[in-house]
Amino acid sequence: KAGVTQTPRYLIKTRGQQVTLSCSPISGHRSVSWYQQTPGQGLQFLFEYFSETQRNKGNFPGRFSGRQFSNSRSEMNVSTLELGDSALYLCASSLGVHSYNEQFFGPGTRLTVL
């Protein structure tokens, strides 16, 4: 069974631009969560989607948004990029939304904002 895939793996943008990251969950998984990883703040929860609905959201500004499609694939978008948005963005998928469901992580997308 293929794991969680994220595209692109690396991305370089400039301040003010917007970016869209993609995540394909493991086949059969319906829940997708996104995390931001930075050296200073560590791993922080962005949001979670299940059946195309956002179920939970972290403390990030409205510039960060996401969506989930009917095939469970998910995208996250960051508008008006800032230098501080440079980070590794990790996507995780699980069978369902309950806390006992194991989350499987993708390799991440490394975003650099210049």
Partner 1 sequence: AQSVTQLGSHVSVSEGALVLLRCNYSSSVPPYLFWYVQYPNQGLQLLLKYTSAATLVKGINGFEAEFKKSETSFHLTKPSAHMSDAAEYFCAVTLVTGANSKLTFGKGITLSVRP
Is 25 an interacting residue with respect to partner 1 (CB under 8 A)? no
Residue with tokens 């609905």: 53
Supply the minimum distance, in Å, between the C-beta of residue 59 and partner 1.
11
Half-sphere exposure of 81 (CA within 13 A, CB side): 18
Supply the minimum distance, in Å, between the C-beta of residue 98 and partner 1.
6
Nearer to partner 1, 76 or 90 (CB): 90
Sign of CA dihedral 55, 58, 59, 60: negative
Q: Candidates 21, 48, 78, 111: give the one binding partner 1 (CB under 8 A).
A: 48
What is the distance, to the nearest Å, from the Cα of residue 4 to the centroid of all Cα atoms in its chain? 11
Is 2 an interacting residue with respect to partner 1 (CB under 8 A)? no
Assigned token pair, 105: 């992580």
Is 12 an interacting residue with respect to partner 1 (CB under 8 A)? no
Query: Quick one: which of 54, 80, 83 has its CA closest to 67?
Result: 54
DSSP 102: P
Q: Candidates 33, 68, 72, 74: give the one binding partner 1 (CB under 8 A).
A: 33
**Interface residues toward partner 1, by CB under 8 A:** 4, 31, 33, 35, 42-45, 48, 55-56, 58, 90, 92, 94, 96-108
